[in-house]
Amino acid sequence: MLFVPQQKRCCNVTPLNALIFDVDGTFAETEETHRRTFNEAFRAAGLDWNWDPALYRDLLQTTGGKERILHYIEAYHPPGGDVARDNILAMHADKALRYAAAVANGALKPRPGMVRLVREAHAAGVRLAIATTSTPGSVEAMLKAFFGADANSLFDVIAAGDVVSNKKPAPDVYLYALEKLGLPASACIAFEDSHKGLLAARAAGLTVIVTPSFYLSADDYSTATSVVSDLGEPDAPNRYIAGAHIGHGYVDVAGLRALCAPIRD
């Protein structure tokens, strides 16, 4: 069951200075490519493991790839698990290389409105950051695929992988991004696709816009500021789900600034 918030305005009264993006499921529907490359890495390690879509939906409730493998071993007791436990780092590194190669070969498409909003925000002087548990190599491959040679110049901060010890729903990766940006949470908006990501961003004090991803569409988004199907495009409007309305069918910088404007009597 999908839980969504009642319509509400952002409580942020600070001018908008930065957007902070989750990656997996938010920038693109990445999880099917992750699932496939996990399975490839398992086979390469000589393991007869197959994470099918139903299983992977459950496993996604564990944040972080290495942590997900360990959870699978401990919760599902697959054959070869005891030996594989000592090989998690190597398996995950192999999987990350396979994922980056798949992305470089065009495996992903950005979700609607994502590339537009990033470029619009950058042009408007709104700073950009990434806050994700995905590995730095995976993030780099995706950004290069979507933005080409401009990728490195667009984002001021990329907080990825093991840059912090505690993964989402802990707020650490968002707090790290805020520290590197040198901005208070009240000056930023986060974009997420999952309940745990939403919890992390809210615990860091951020306004959060959620665009539910395929695998996590049944998550609880009741504490989000706004929930929309995607960021939308001028010629392909998104679907409003709950919370604050932003723009007219698509999320843009003007709509985000209006969301964060103080309420006047």
Q: Are residues 74 and 141 in the same domain?
A: no
Specify if 23 maps to a domain: yes
Q: Are residues 98 and 116 in the same domain?
A: no
- Give 236's contacts (C-beta < 8 A, 6+ positions apart): 112, 250
Report in angstroms the alpha-carbon separations of 10 from 131, 199, 256, 257. 21, 16, 10, 10
Provide the number of structural domains found in the chain: 2
Per mean pLDDT, which range of 12-26, 87-101, 193-207, 245-259 is the poorest? 12-26
Q: Are residues 88 and 123 in the same domain?
A: no
- If 0-12 CB within 10 Å is exposed, 13-18 middle and 19+ buried, where does residue 89 land? exposed
Q: Are residues 43 and 148 in the same domain?
A: no
Q: What is the pLDDT of residues 42-72, one digit of tens each?
A: 999 999 999 999 999 999 999 999 999 999 9
Specify if 188 maps to a domain: yes
Q: Are residues 145 and 234 in the same domain?
A: yes
Taking 80 as the threshold, does the pLDDT of residue 192 lie above it? Answer: yes
Q: Are residues 91 and 113 in the same domain?
A: no
Q: What is the pLDDT of residues 135-189, one digit of tens each?
A: 999 999 999 999 998 898 999 999 998 899 999 999 999 999 999 999 999 999 9
pLDDT of the residue at 7: 42
Q: Are residues 66 and 156 in the same domain?
A: no
Range of the domain at 100: 31-104
**24 flagged as catalytic:** yes
SS3 percent helix, strand, coil of the chain, rounded to 5, is: 45, 15, 45
**Nearest partner of 26 among 134, 100, 122, judged by Cα:** 134
Strand locations in the chain (E): 18-21, 127-131, 157-159, 188-192, 207-210, 226-228, 240-243
Residue where a domain stops, chosen among 71, 104, 137: 104
Maximum Cα–Cα distance for the chain, whole Å?
66
Among residues 22, 94, 172, 193, which one is catalytic? 22
Q: In degrees to the nearest 10, what's the CA dihedral of 61, 134, 17, 221? A: -10
Q: Are residues 130 and 193 in the same domain?
A: yes
Q: What is the pLDDT of residues 204-215, one digit of tens each?
A: 999 999 999 999
Contact between 25 and 133 (Cβ < 8 Å): no
Q: Are residues 23 and 53 in the same domain?
A: no
Q: Are residues 117 and 77 in the same domain?
A: no
Q: Are residues 208 and 246 in the same domain?
A: yes
